[in-house]
Amino acid sequence: MRVEVDQPKCVASGQCVLVAPEVFDQDDDGIVELLAERPGPEHHENVRESAALCPAAAIRLVAE
């Protein structure tokens, strides 16, 4: 799995960081920052949940 984020779409809700802090962080303005473009399998479930919870649909998951 590869993760992509669209920072201009991010509304800084922080849901992704709450669910998958190993993969996502926020900058000083609350905008999503991607920590792991290809997270390990142990994080896939949380990453999928983060993408589903994102109110701006700023997280995209790409199957590899």
Mean pLDDT of 14-27: 98
The stretches of the chain forming alpha helices (DSSP H) are 15-19, 44-53
What CA–CA distance (Å, rounded) separates 25 from 11? Answer: 13
pLDDT at 64 exceeding the cut of 90: no
Q: For the chain, how many structural domains are there in total?
A: 1
Task: Report the CATH number at residue 24.
Answer: 3.30.70.20
What CA–CA distance (Å, rounded) separates 27 from 1? Answer: 24
Domain encompassing residue 49: 2-62
pLDDT in tens, 21-54: 999 999 999 999 999 999 999 999 999 999 999 9
- The amino acid at residue 28 is D
Predicted model pTM = 0.94
